[in-house]
Amino acid sequence: MSTITRRLLLSSGLTAGAFLLPHAAAAQAYPDKPIRFIAPFPAGSATDGLARFLGQRMSEAMGQPIIIDNRPGANGIVGAQAAAQSPPDGYTVFVTTNSTHSANINLYKQLPYDPVRDFAPVARLMRIPVVFVVRRDSPMRSLQDLIAAARQQPGKLSFGSGNTIGRGTTELLKAMAGFDMLHVPYRGTPQALADLVASQVDMVAADPSSALGLIQAGTVRPLAVTGATRVPALPDVPTVAESGVTGFELTAWVGAFAPARTPADIVARLNRAFLAAASGPAAAAYFEKIGGIADPSTPDELGRFVVSETAKWARIVEVAKIEKE
């Protein structure tokens, strides 16, 4: 601080510390109004469900309403752009997945946001596998049946996905097992499942929480899950590796981000609130019900994780020979 500036402050009865008071007061008061969670996938998706579950618990703990703002479309790009352009004041939080923050940068030639530069990591929350499902009247009763049928009819069978993990798992399976299927993209997994039931596609790569009701009702048949272990909610459904595709494993993850330049103390407050909401018996029961695994982290750990996951998706795109759109 220059001598002239110091004299001006002293003559007016102010000190440099006084300029910090408004920010300090704001941080202490946070939150003093409703918080918005942007979810880049539609109602009924795993991301939406987790945002609602955690939002309710955090609302009770933080004393303010938490509003879920679904912004589906373009593999999460619509929601990501809306979140990136929001004020960095802690009142907009982006509850999202590997789609927007690891995969899209490898799948699209251009994005209207930067997953690193435009966001402040808050907390990693959950990992969740994909389950491959077919209609109940499908002749395919196992993953090997699907692979065999696709090999006999190259490019004739179709699969639907509502996000990049759905597409990525299937493209990787195609590459590793040596078959071809036509990809049909959807705004979200619930929409893909609706078309599966309506016989518009032959298979859907879904998150367990979106498909579980249809599986339990006998409307769709699960063939395999993409994680390293079976899903507690679907104990009789084998993994892809158990089904004969040795070494296959790919799961989605969900994390929370704030717009870039959100104050660090507010990010820390949100991190503590998220991790508290994602812990305890009720949270454990929720994760088990939807087939997810709690996976908490610090903001710094999430930031490093995004970088490593982006590199992993680059390898997946290369192995699966996916061309950028």
7-30 residue pLDDT tens: 434 444 444 444 444 444 455 689
Cβ pair 286, 79 in contact under 8 A? no
CATH 3.40.50.10490 fits 131-225, yes or no: no
Q: Quick one: pLDDT band at residue 3, thresholds 50, 70, 90?
A: very low
Cβ-count burial 104-120 (b if 16+ within 10 Å, e if not): bbbbeeebebebeebbb
Query: Per this entry, what is the length of the chain?
Result: 325
The pLDDT of residue 323: 86
For 197, 252, 265, the CA distances from 55, given in Å and listed in that order, are 31, 20, 20
Q: Average pLDDT in the 185-207 region? A: 96
Cβ pair 322, 183 in contact under 8 A? no
Q: How many CA atoms lie within 13 A of 255 on its CB side?
A: 30
Q: Average pLDDT in the 167-176 region? A: 94
Cβ pair 170, 176 in contact under 8 A? no
Q: What would you measure as the largest C-alpha separation in the chain, in angstroms?
A: 87
The pLDDT of residue 321: 82
**Same CATH fold, 131-225 and 34-127+252-320?**
yes
Architecture in CATH for domain 34-127+252-320: 3-Layer(aba) Sandwich (3.40)
Task: State how far the Cα of 42 lies from the Cα of 44, in Å rounded to an integer.
Answer: 6
Of 209, 103, 113, 109, nearest to 165 (Cα)? Answer: 103
Residue-wise pLDDT for 101-135, tens only, equals: 999 999 999 999 999 999 999 999 999 999 999 99
- What are the residue boundaries of the structural domains of the chain, listed by start? 34-127+252-320, 131-225
